[in-house]
Amino acid sequence: MSRPLSTDLTGLELPPVAASWNEKDVMLYALGVGARPPEDLDFVYEGRGPVVLPTYGVIPGLMAMGGLFGEVDVNPAMILHGEQSITCHRTLPPKADVEIRGRITEAWDKGKAAVIGFEGVASDAQGALFTAAATLFVRGAGGFGGERGPSTSGKNQPPDRDPDVVIEYQTRQEQAAIYRLSGDRNPLHIDPEFAKMAGFDAPFNHGLCTFGFVGRAVLSGVFDGDVDAFGSLEGRFADQVWPEDTIVAKIWRDGDGAIVEASTQKGNVVLSQARATHR
């Protein structure tokens, strides 16, 4: 029986989830977040490994987060993806069998809406491999009498100077159609009629697809393409990316990593409050 939303949910452990992937899965994900030959051959060709993009962990991580809906009384149709992070404890292999242990990290009452935080730690036979975390904004679910929670205003704000690196990647018309084959089959991102029913003009790209594009930019601009150096990436989804938009990642080097902000060619910020760190 599912539990009602309350601050008492914080710390609730979710049933463990088994997940696995292989070379085809990680190459398909790479294509879904814009990798293409010949410049990205390492990620899309088994003759080069394939090398696994560090943000791939959000795919099994999202699958584990699905266990939340069986434990907590929320309407999935009212959920917006707020924030996302991935932390790599080791370099992700092209094949793996893992168990993901998830828990609710926070539950806040925002008045007309609620915010729920999730964290999932994926482990294989050698120990912890990655941690995926997210916050979900649940429309119409507030007013249950809980605390409002801390403000994230000012978090990971870019410094008042030009970025050290700017990397641009153009998305394709079929980007969401490819990305959804990695597991997120939400019709919002492919079905025009469904998108209109949801209040949008047309299907748009997945937020986690945008996260993967920014992850590729960070891998190149912060870690010089070295997946072994990639420690973490976190950020807040701020706006939609539409098919054929160009994602512009601005990177400011900072301490052990970098502050990141991504916008489209139109100037609208799509991933804010973002930071990458070395492992």
pLDDT digits (tens, 9 = 90+) for 60-114: 998 888 888 888 888 877 888 999 999 999 999 999 999 999 999 999 999 999 9
What is the reported pLDDT for 80?
Answer: 87
**Catalytic residue status for 189:** yes
What is the reported pLDDT for 136?
Answer: 93
Residue 44: Cβ within 10 Å count: 19
Q: Within this chain, do residues 103 and 23 fall inside the same structural domain, yes or no?
A: yes
Q: What's the CATH code of the domain at 174?
A: 3.10.129.10
Mean pLDDT over 265-272 rounds to: 98
Please report whether residue 200 resides in a domain: yes
Q: Within this chain, do residues 100 and 14 fall inside the same structural domain, yes or no?
A: yes
Which of 89, 109, 189, 206 does the annotation list as catalytic? 189
What is the reported pLDDT for 176?
Answer: 98
Mean pLDDT over 168-195 rounds to: 95
**Catalytic residue status for 184:** yes
Q: Within this chain, do residues 13 and 128 fall inside the same structural domain, yes or no?
A: yes
Sequence-ordered list of residues with C-beta below 8 angstroms from that of 259, at least 6 positions apart, any chain: 156, 157, 158, 159, 251, 252, 274, 275
Q: Within this chain, do residues 18 and 126 fall inside the same structural domain, yes or no?
A: yes
Asked if 116 contacts 110 with a C-beta cutoff of 8 angstroms, the reply is no
Which of 42, 184, 206, 245 does the annotation list as catalytic? 184
Q: Which domain holds residue 187?
A: 165-278
Mean pLDDT over 115-137 rounds to: 96
Query: How many domains does the structure of the chain reveal?
Result: 2
Q: Is the dihedral of CA 234, 239, 245, 248 positive or negative?
A: negative
Integer Cα distance of 212 and 168 in angstroms: 13
Angle at 210 between CA 17 and CA 16, to 5 degrees: 5
Name, of 60-74, 193-207, 259-273, the range with top average pLDDT.
259-273
Sequence-ordered list of residues with C-beta below 8 angstroms from that of 101, at least 6 positions apart, any chain: 13, 14, 16, 120, 121, 123
What is the reported pLDDT for 67?
Answer: 82
